Amino acid sequence: MASHGLDIQSVSKRFGDVEVLSDISLSVRAGEFVTLLGPSGCGKSTLLRIVAGLEHPDTGSIGIDDRSIDHVAPKDRGVAFVFQNYALYPHLTAYQNIAAPLVMRELTAMQRLPFIGRRLPGAASVHVSIDERVRKTADKLQIGSLLHRRPGELSGGQRQRVAVGRALVRAPQLFLMDEPLANLDAGLRIHMRSEIARLHQEIGATTLFVTHDQAEAAALSDRVAVIFGGRIRQFAAPQELYRDPVDLEVARFLTQPFLNVLETPVPIAGRVTIGGLHVAVRDTEGAAKPGKLAFRPEHATLVAAGKPGALPVIVKRIEHSGTDAHVFVDLQAGATGLVVRIASEEASSLRPDAATALLIDSERAWFFPNGGARHLVGRARAA
């Protein structure tokens, strides 16, 4: 399957008085898997529908391989859309659902008629071609034995594969997927996530994928566009987003379930002051404002009270979750509700109200100046 690049330039969209998208620009390379990630209502599904031609932007343009598709009808854009609810025809079999776009595109109204349609000139060879492509697609998705069943007779995962098959059979220039795993249970979501990754690796189709699930985005994507309030905050590879969030809101969204945040004065000589201690932080160079020090629970450790450079804390409670435990602590100097993730075996020796100390990994902590973004030299922000 030939891959095609996607170019979104300065797209804005309003519904009444509500600005849903604001000056969105995004380039997706041919064969790339890009995810639009953000909370509900941030505009990611609206952007997907604009690319498909189901909504029209107020400003901006959409192009595929340097060719504008702004005035091209949805059916002629070479785009395949997989919806959250799959949008399968309940009265048709899986075979008929997958074949539907080919039947509508390649057969005339008369040739689509039952019984006599196949006898019309040219119809037989088209039917044979459609049949070959449907069965080849079904085999690729491992649903060849289910083609005789209707959607009501299929599991959620099987219906999802049929929906993907209906998109795949058209050999589209671009795949658009709007939270296709949202209706599946947790175990099946992980399985189908692997299937989508395998399928993308096999066919190499350019894909724009929408989700609010950070783990889903990280597992599937070459790059992720984080969207808040109709704007792209950051566009980068998943590992870069995890390592270098551009602002505190992105950091919070990409950190589940806890992010530690401490108010700090203006950094001095690459250090911030917390509870009377000076903590080195890697990206305070040039900072002239007070701000917030943020770090994930896994980027701090509990050490013996009195250890140099560690913050004195009091253990409040412990939550065990398998091999790990979350230890909730309060700073003796005032800040409350901090969380440290450690091994459950290590946590078994701790007790509520015990005095210990918190050591922050300064290379993995971030300083966010108040009212601004981090000082990221040569790193990706929004694209």
Q: What is the pLDDT of residue 380?
A: 46
Evaluate if residue 69 carries a pLDDT over 60.
Answer: yes
Instruction: Out of 81-95, 158-172, 180-194, pick the least confident.
Output: 180-194
pTM for the whole structure:
0.86
Length of the chain: 383
Q: What is the pLDDT of residue 2?
A: 58
- pLDDT by residue (tens digit) across 178-207? 998 887 888 888 888 888 888 888 888 899
Evaluate if residue 345 carries a pLDDT over 60.
Answer: yes
d(CA 159, CA 89): 11
CB atoms within 10 A of CB 64: 21
d(CA 1, CA 299): 43
Q: Is the dihedral of CA 305, 306, 307, 310 positive or negative?
A: positive
CB contact set of 148 (below 8 Å; sequence gap of 6+): 93, 94, 95
Between CA 258 and CA 263, with CA 261 as vertex, the angle to 5 degrees is: 165
CB of 54 closer than 8 Å to CB of 227: no
**Greater confidence, 272 or 93?**
93
Ordered by where they begin, the domains of the chain are 6-243 (3.40.50.300), 251-369 (2.40.50.140)
d(CA 308, CA 64): 58
Q: Among all chains, which residue has been given the structure tokens 């854009």? A: 77
**Residues forming a β-bridge with 320:** 325
Tell me which residue of 320, 324, 317, 321 sits closest to 353, measured CA to CA: 317
Find the mean pLDDT for residues 123-148. 93
Find the mean pLDDT for residues 106-115. 88
The per-residue pLDDT of the chain, averaged, comes to 90
Angstrom CA distances, 163 to 51, 88, 176, 190, 261, stand at 19, 7, 12, 18, 43
- pLDDT by residue (tens digit) across 347-378? 988 999 999 999 999 889 999 988 777 766 44
- pLDDT by residue (tens digit) across 237-295? 999 999 999 999 999 999 988 999 999 999 888 888 888 888 888 777 767 889 999 99
Tell me which residue of 286, 355, 283 sits closest to 314, measured CA to CA: 355
How would you list the strands of the sheet with 324-331, edge to edge?
300-303, 355-360, 311-321, 324-331, 338-343
Q: Among all chains, which residue has been given the structure tokens 């599904």? A: 45
d(CA 5, CA 65): 5
Q: What is the pLDDT of residue 214?
A: 92
- The percent of residues in the chain predicted with pLDDT above 90, rounded, is 61
Q: What residue type is assigned to position 227 of the chain?
A: I
Rg (CA), the chain: 26
Tell me which residue of 42, 321, 329 sits closest to 179, measured CA to CA: 42
CB contact set of 17 (below 8 Å; sequence gap of 6+): none
CB of 229 closer than 8 Å to CB of 41: no
